[in-house]
Amino acid sequence: MALSGVLRPGFVQIRVLDMAESIIHYRDRIGLDVVSTEDDGRVYLKAYDEFDRHSIVLRECDEAGLDMMAFKVSSEAFLDEYEEKLRADGFEVTPIAAGEQPGVGRRISFVAPTGHRFDLYVEMELSDNGPMTNNPDICQQDQRGMKAIRFDHCLLYGTDLDGTKKVFEEILGFSTAEVVVDDDTGMIIALFLTCSNKAHDLAIVRHEEDDKLHHVSFLVEDWNAIGEAADIMTRYDISRDIGPTRHGITRGQTIYFFDPSGNRNEVFAGGYHFYPDNPLRVWKASSVGKAIFYYERELNDRFMTVVT
């Protein structure tokens, strides 16, 4: 499938309460590599199978949560087009100069109707230890921890789900792959958006508070890797939310857990492939237990209520 415009999730900047503990969690437990620690204290990391310089940014703060999520765009022409369309639709767009993050070109930033900040950019330096391209081995060095392949997606919570859906579909060219709707009114409760042929690159749930993070997800190879992640969680007393299990929505295999600051993480495998001509997949709210946790067929209260 030919991709242009918004290509994929690029990076996410997460607020953490204790940087030393967070580095152990994301580096040693999830298996990311630390790329650099900058003068402002931010720490940049990447997964072993990512070409770009970084995909995770940690910023120490007194409140956990999400600073922003950034998407990579295919060309400067598309970046200019998105800026023009966002401004025309009444959004305040903030230009961010190249170099605000090391190795990253200019960005544009806007706040969606759910209160979340999203950045768009074109250029990022390639990693010094990205995937090999000449007679390539699977990885350049031994993998660690949960062996995260890449930063995959985020699930966010906010009030104006419909307004954010409109922005991502009509301005940024995303498709809606799957929804959860109220049985009686048909109102969308949860939205699964994709800019690729993944089941989702961004998910958003209707919530009474804006600008909330539900989880940051990392792709792992398969169901066995999910089980190995569960072993690591038990060995190192990592707070587990639920799993290993499987989703009905996206069909992905999953386990959820928390970083030391209380931000929820997921390691995720599988899921269906999406194409723009696919019919919309719809779940009724009365079946949401099966939709989210396909085997258990019921919700974990903490999963629905704990956000940062």
Marked catalytic residue, from 50, 178, 228, 266: 266
Fold of the domain spanning 152-305: 2,3-Dihydroxybiphenyl 1,2-Dioxygenase; domain 1 (3.10.180)
How much is the pLDDT for 283? 95
- Residue closest to 40 by CA, chosen among 65, 61, 11: 61
Stretch (H or E) spanning 231: helix 223-235
Marked catalytic residue, from 25, 54, 153, 214: 153
Type of residue numbered 174? F
Answer yes or no: 84 catalytic. no
Q: Do domains 6-121 and 152-305 have the same CATH topology?
A: yes
How much is the pLDDT for 302? 83
**pLDDT tens digits, one per residue of 182-206:** 999 999 999 999 999 999 999 999 9
Per-block mean pLDDT, blocks of 10 residues, the chain (308 long): 85 98 98 97 97 97 98 97 98 97 97 98 94 85 92 97 97 97 95 95 96 97 96 97 94 97 97 95 94 89 86
* CA 295 centroid distance within chain: 24
Question: Bridge-partner residues for 12, per DSSP?
Answer: 56, 69
Marked catalytic residue, from 26, 121, 157, 256: 256
41: burial class by Cβ within 10 Å (0-12, 13-18, 19+)? exposed
Marked catalytic residue, from 116, 207, 214, 215: 215
Answer yes or no: 214 catalytic. no
Answer yes or no: 54 catalytic. no
Answer yes or no: 256 catalytic. yes
Marked catalytic residue, from 25, 54, 116, 200: 200
How much is the pLDDT for 2? 60
Question: Bridge-partner residues for 32, per DSSP?
Answer: none
Domain ranges of the chain: 6-121, 152-305
Fold of the domain spanning 6-121: 2,3-Dihydroxybiphenyl 1,2-Dioxygenase; domain 1 (3.10.180)
Answer yes or no: 116 catalytic. no
